[in-house]
Structure formats: structure tokens, C-alpha cells
Amino acid sequence: MTPNSEIKPTNDILDYLIRDGLILTLSPDFPEPFTGSIGIQEGKIVFIQPKGSQVFMPPAKKIINARGFLVMPGLVNTHTHGAMTLFRGLADDLPLKTWLEQFIFPAEIRFVNEDSVYWGTLLACAEMILSGTTTFADGYFYMDEAAKAVDRSGMRAVVCQGILDFPIPGIPDPTQKLLVAGRFVETWEGFSPLIHTGIFCHSPYTCSSETLRTVKALCRKKQVPFFIHAAETKEEVSLIQSREGKTPIHYLQALDLLDAQTIAVHAIHLDSSEIELLAQTRTAVAHCPESNMKLASGITPVAEMLKKGVLVGLGTDGCASNNDLDLFKEMDTAAKLEKVHYADPTVMDARTTVRMATIEGAHVLSLEKTIGSLEVGKEADIIFLELFRPHLIPCYNPFSMLVYAAGGADVHSVMIAGKMVMEDRKILTFDINEVLEQVNRLSQLIISGY
């Protein structure tokens, strides 16, 4: 049942041949799961063949026997704050204002630094790899350190510098924020094929219209995505409405911020015209149902968004408000929440939900040409799930199994860009024990600081 690798004799062509797996491509060519093979060369998928249809089977340096495994694209997390793993469970079950003002902001002021961002982000990478996520969008502070952690982990990421109008960790002088963000993008965009960059304006209520406009202009100039928490709470909507005479999405539109490289995170409290605006402008939504439930922010009208053609991906949000980074749990919750919200068990079916966590998530991050599905020419970001586990059988429908029964712990192995980063639940790219020790050290500091 374990994918065993074996070295074959010389004159090899493929780097990897994945054989006899139950393949779920999420591509239009193969809409249904089938048993077959995948060839990988120089980090890319070079062929996909259903079993029995093989016209050729080139030799390979390593063969992965994937019989008994589901083989699918790695999951895409369109929104998190990686280093906030350090604040997991620090302050739960509190009113949003108390949570933010009495716990999270003070903790960030005291404990967010280069050291904690590096180790917190690496812990996030460990958790995501172990639960089958291969690409994530991160937005936080001290992002050079986050990018270093991502680079070490072997993950693919869109690493975004966080921006607010007041002093933040790493940018004590707010007038320097554009400079810092610009320098960050220049340093890391293209640093490696796995690292992309972006800029994350915290919200319409913590960034002025001037900040929002100039940051978006910088993003357009650098051709990188622009993220913003938007329409997350009723309070935000009231505030923006009274200050600007418009609801948040209309306000962002008036500032000319909406386009296919803008990602509205949460996007809960919207009227129909705002949903239509998101669709028309191709603005993407990062849907974070678990965080939205836990903070009691509200329920994103995803079913309506999909009907109107809005591009929606899934996100976990940070660990201070979820409190984990498992996209399998997020898929389960996302599907069930829409059903009960619309009193309709047919909305957000399992297939739609899996697409949201893979190819649609890739679309949200403008990476749909390289990842999000298994297709010839795409990057080999592939996860392997054990099928014959008590809670996953029988498996009449792999989409249902993935959404309603599987969890991150069912992911056996993970490949990113053709490189194994986890095998048999062992992370190969860095020493997990070192991370656990460093996080333990940092969490002791955080506890003693309270």
C-alpha cells in the first residue's frame, strides 16, 4: 500500500513514473477518476495515460507504485497568515473586538519579529504539507523571513507583504510601507520558480483610499496580485457605508481596485450588485468558511457567487481564527455550510468543492496555467491519499470521499514541482523536530508575556 520507489537501470528518460493510481486530474480532458499512469520530467507532467491505453511507457529513474492510492493535484490555500500558527488557540471564543484588540494586536506587537515569522511560517508549511496543500497565499509581516521559510520548505506560494496605515511589525514608520513592499516584491519575485509575490492591504478600514490606490498601482506595475480582506463583518460594511457612502465592494470599485489580479478575502456581506460587480471585473474571492464561522462573521453567499460567475477559491485563514490549516476540513465545512445556509442539499456538491480547493484556487492566484490540475505541461504538484482506510471505505465516489470523509491526515505523500517533499508522512525538505523545538521556545515566550 505504500508508494515504493525503485531505481531502474541507465538510459532513463522520466524522473518519475507514477503507476496504477486512481487518478483524479481535475482537468477537462479527464473529468472522471480512472486508474492510470503519470510521467514526470524536470518537474513537469509529460504524460497521463489510463491503464490499458498505453501506447508507450518510457523508462523512469523512479517508479511510484500508486495502487491503492488516490492521485490528485495538490490543494491550493488562497488565504492564510502563515506565522500566526504561533497564536493558535491563544484566544478563542471571544467577541471579535476583544479578540483583535486585547489579544491578537498586542501579541503581534510584542512577539512578531524575524525569528517568530520564520519559524511560525515553517510550522505552517509543515502543517500544510502534512495535510496535502502544495500552494498557498500568505499575507503577513517580515515577509523576507516568510519567503525564506517557504523556500526551505519546498512549497509553492504567493508571499504577500501586509500593509496597514499604522505602525506594524517590521514597518514601524508607515510612510515607508510602499518602499518596503516594493523592495520585497523586487527581491523575491522570480527568486525561485516556486515563489511568487503580492501585496496584501489589510482592509478598507485600516488602509486609506490613498494607500489602497497606490498599492494597487504598484501591484499593476509589478504584475503581482493585490489582496484585501473585504466585507468581512457587518460593522465594516456600516463603517465604510457611513464614511464613503458606499458598501465595501462598490468602494473598492470606485477606487479602480477590482480586476482579475485582485483577491477579495472573506467577501461575506454583499448585496446582489456587489456579487455582479465581482463577476464582471473578474475579481476573485478567497472563501474562508471556518474562520467566518468561528469569529461569527457570517456566511459567504458562495452558491449565488458561483451562479453569477464569480471565481471562488478556498482559504483557511490564519491559525488564530480557525485554528488549523487543513483544507480537507475546510472543503467539508464549505460544502455543508452552503447547504444549510440555502436550505438546499444540492448546492456546493462535492465536485464543485474539490474544484474550489484545486483548479479554481489556482485561478484565484492566477496560477491556473501551471498548477491546480494534472495536465500535460503543468507542474507536477501531486498528492497521494491512501484509499483503504476504515473511514474512507467504501469509496463509491472519490469526490464525496475527499470532501465528506477524508482529512489531511489521509495524505500519504506529497510532490511539488516533481520533487517529493513528504513520503509516508515524513517531511523530507526540512527537520520537523527543529521546527517543533523552535516553536516550543517561542510559545513559552508568548505565554510568559501574558
Enumerate residues 31-90 that contact a copy of itself by CB under 8 A: 86, 88-90
Count CB-CB contacts under 10 A for residue 206. 16
Give dist(CA 224, CA 230) in Å, integer.
Answer: 19
For a copy of itself, the closer of residues 34 and 191 by Cβ is: 34
> 359-388: which residues touch a copy of itself (CB under 8 A)?
388
Nearer residue to a copy of itself within complex by CB, 78 or 323: 323
Binding residues with a copy of itself: total (CB under 8 A): 71
Q: Which of 46, 260, 299, 428 binds a copy of itself (CB under 8 A)?
A: 299
349 binds a copy of itself (CB under 8 A): yes
Chain centroid offset of residue 40 CA:
24
Q: Which residue matches cell numbers 508508494?
A: 3
Q: Are 248 and 240 in contact (CB under 8 A)?
A: yes
Where are the extended beta strands (E) located within 297-433? 312-314, 382-386, 411-416, 419-423, 426-427
Q: Which range binds a copy of itself by CB under 8 A, 171-179, 198-206, 241-249, 291-299?
A: 291-299
Residue closest to 155 by CA, chosen among 200, 123, 199, 202: 123
Binding test (CB under 8 A) with a copy of itself, winner from 80, 292, 366, 370: 292
Rounded to 5 degrees, what are φ and ψ at 313?
-115, 170
Omega before residue 65 within 30° of 0, cis:
no
**Binding to a copy of itself by residue 448, rule CB under 8 A?**
no
* By the rule CB under 8 A, 326 interacts with a copy of itself: yes
- Cell numbers at 264, concatenated: 477579495
User: What cell does 251 get?
Assistant: 468602494
Cα separation, 178 vs 184, in Å, equals 10
Taking CB under 8 A as the criterion, the residue among 11, 28, 93, 448 binding a copy of itself is: 93
CB of 299 to a copy of itself, least distance (A): 6
Q: What whole-number distance in Å separates Cα of residue 201 and Cα of residue 138?
A: 12
Of positions 337, 354, 357, 420, contacts a copy of itself by CB under 8 A: 337
Q: Which stretch binds a copy of itself (CB under 8 A): 109-117, 211-219, 412-420, 434-442?
A: 434-442
Closest distance to a copy of itself from the beta carbon of 84 (Å): 11
Residue 167: CB minimum distance to a copy of itself, A: 26
Nearer to a copy of itself, 178 or 401 (CB): 401
Intra-chain end-to-end CA distance of the chain, in Å: 47
Instruction: Give 46 or 405: the residue with its C-beta nearer to a copy of itself.
Output: 405
The residue from 250, 329, 355, 412 that contacts a copy of itself (CB under 8 A) is: 329
Q: What sign for the dihedral angle of Cα 140, 145, 151, 154?
A: negative
Contacting residue, 99, 188, 227, 251, with a copy of itself by CB under 8 A: 99
Q: Which amino acid is at 205?
A: Y
Name the residue nearer to a copy of itself (CB basis): 220 or 294. Answer: 294
Helices (H) and strands (E) counted in the chain, each on its own, are 16, 17
**How many CB atoms are located within 10 Å of the residue 305 CB?**
20
Q: Interface with a copy of itself by CB under 8 A: which range of 45-53, 196-204, 223-231, 389-397?
A: 389-397
Nearer to a copy of itself, 56 or 396 (CB): 396
> Which residues between 131 and 190 bind a copy of itself (CB under 8 A)?
131
Q: Which of 42, 235, 256, 344 lies at the binding interface for a copy of itself (CB under 8 A)?
A: 344
Exactly one of 243, 426, 440, 449 binds a copy of itself (CB under 8 A); that residue is: 440
Minimum distance, C-beta of residue 41 to a copy of itself, in the bound complex (Å): 32
Residue 290 interacts with a copy of itself (CB under 8 A)?
yes
Distance CA 204, CA 417 (A): 36
What does the block give as the cell for 77?
490555500
User: Taking the complex as a whole, how short is the minimal distance between the CB of residue 20 and a copy of itself, in angstroms?
Assistant: 17
Place of cell 497565499: 137
3-state secondary structure of 346: coil
Q: Which residues of 350-379 are buried (b: 16+ CB within 10 A; e: fewer)?
A: bbbbbbbbbbbbbbbbbbbebbbbbbeebb
Residues 106-135 that bind a copy of itself (CB under 8 A): 123, 126-127, 130-131
Nearest 5°: phi and psi at 148?
A: -65, -40
Question: Residue 381 CB, nearest distance to a copy of itself (Å)?
Answer: 20
Q: Does 208 bind a copy of itself (CB under 8 A)?
A: no
User: CB of 103: closest distance to a copy of itself in angstroms?
Assistant: 10
